[in-house]
Amino acid sequence: MTQESSSMVGGKGRFVYVAAAFSALGGLLFGYDTGVISGAILFIRQDFALSDFAVEVVVSAVLLGAVIGAALGGDLADHLGRRKVIILAAVIFALSAIGTASVPAVSWLILGRILVGIAIGMASITAPLYISEVAPAKVRGSLVSLNQLAITIGIVVSYLVDYSLSDIQGWRYMLGLAAIPAAILGIGMLPLPDTPRWLVNHGEIDNARVVLKRIRGKEDVEKELDEIRTGLKKQAAGRAELMNPLVKPALIIGVVLAIFQQVTGINTVIYYAPTIFQFAGLVSASSAIFATVGVGIVNVIMTVVAISLLDRIGRRPLLMVGLAGMVFSLGLLGLAFFLPSLGGLLGDLAVVGLMLYVGAFALGLGPVFWLLISEIYPLKVRGLAMSIASEANWGSNLLVALTFLTLVQAIGTPGAFWFYALVGIGAWIFVYLSVPETKGRTLEEIEEHWRAGKHPLEMGKK
Ligand code: BGC
């Protein structure tokens, strides 16, 4: 990244928004490519005459790929740089979109969807990581969560695309269309620089200074540069830092939150909403799809609400209110399915319950998990530690996707919802006892906090 090329992008201080917006396209692809299969699979099943098992394999292939992509992405981001890995993910997104749109046989489709997943796994780490490292501390929460907003928009767009192309059974177009945002992401990232923090870590101090001036829109950046360098000096080399007993609490918090984000059931709704609505008696496919789009829109709107609050009231209150809302709505959903006397009312209650549930997720656990894991790790191992947390996230996502229908068969629909509610109570207690408040802190202050061996909850106290 040269001085001239960095000056091509954005005006005074606005640069950071341009950078955040482009990298958030990674989130759009994450959402689109995970959501699109829900509609596409109906026609893929017909075209290739798939068994139930083959359908499950096609649907889960993307999650398997994401586990692999998450494992690769962080290490690569620490070595090659955040920007290069986002560009690499964009190239894989584009190629696999075109590839999956033109496959002759289902085995190729499965391979292609694993590749899509690898790109999703990589982007799920590097997009929030990149934004977190360029954002000023006081707006970092909202900027990083643009990524989550993009995920939710991607999901709704995928539902709408599926709906509009279902008349022509156009599953190949559904999958192929992802090449467009992928190209915009890849091309858009080309003139952007890497993050000042990554540059400092790789000895490119002069470049880091140029980039910092650009993103802060001011000449005097020496103080911030010094803080980044001082922080780095205190860190052990490479993986040793991860094993540092003082850093371990951060690692555990990230991994446990990752598991809770999935094991409270969000993707049973995102991937199976039409099926749940059919359990509830909404028989026509069009009313089930309509209700599903409604759930997707609530997800987007409540993410916007979260973005406006994250840097004002903080991460912890949103997590706790959001989790309480999820537990309440899961309890309600379980009750609705438990009482046979409800009759036609069950469909309405299911719609309201699912909307409440998704809204509560979007307010807390959705954005806050990805935000926190981009903030709480020391610079030298930030990518690697994020990899571990996102592997836990994608692994649990895969587990829930594979077990949801079996769980419903084993303990019934109310039992399944109550089970997720119980896990939600566990998550609330965990957050209450150990998740730190990172609002308004610089990434270097957060590192310093762990190094001082203080309790996570003390982080929020000035
Ligand atoms: C989760 C995804 C989920 C999405 C829904 C993300 O934060 O990681 O698994 O599908 O939110 O909005």
User: pLDDT tens digit string along 292-316?
Assistant: 889 999 999 999 999 999 999 999 9
Tell me the pLDDT band of 238, cut-offs 50, 70 and 90: low
Higher-confidence position of 405 and 437? 437
Tell me the pLDDT band of 14, cut-offs 50, 70 and 90: confident
Q: What is the pLDDT of residue 244?
A: 85
* Atom 5 of ligand 1, nearest CA residue: 152
Query: Residue 76: pLDDT above 60?
Result: yes
Ligand 1 pocket test, candidate residues 270, 310, 355, 400, most atoms within 8 A of CB: 270
Tokens of 324: 């309480």
Mean local confidence (pLDDT), 219-227: 91
| Distance from Cα 366 to the centre of ligand 1, integer Å | 6
Q: What is the pLDDT of residue 7?
A: 40
CB–CB of 149/304 below 8 Å?
yes
Query: Residue 5: pLDDT above 50?
Result: no
Tell me the pLDDT band of 105, cut-offs 50, 70 and 90: very high
Q: What is the pLDDT of residue 9?
A: 42
Higher-confidence position of 160 and 345? 160
Name residues contacting ligand 1 (CB within 6 A): 34, 148, 151-152, 155, 261, 266-267, 270, 299, 366, 370, 393, 397
Ligand 1 pocket test, candidate residues 267, 269, 319, most atoms within 8 A of CB: 267
Tokens of 319: 């997590």
Q: What is the pLDDT of residue 8?
A: 38
Sorted by sequence, the CB contacts under 8 Å of residue 93 that are 6+ apart come out as: 29, 33, 116, 119, 123, 178, 179, 181, 182, 185
Mean local confidence (pLDDT), 122-137: 94
Q: What is the pLDDT of residue 2?
A: 40
Tell me the pLDDT band of 462, cut-offs 50, 70 and 90: low
Tell me the pLDDT band of 156, cut-offs 50, 70 and 90: very high
| Distance from Cα 341 to the centre of ligand 1, integer Å | 34
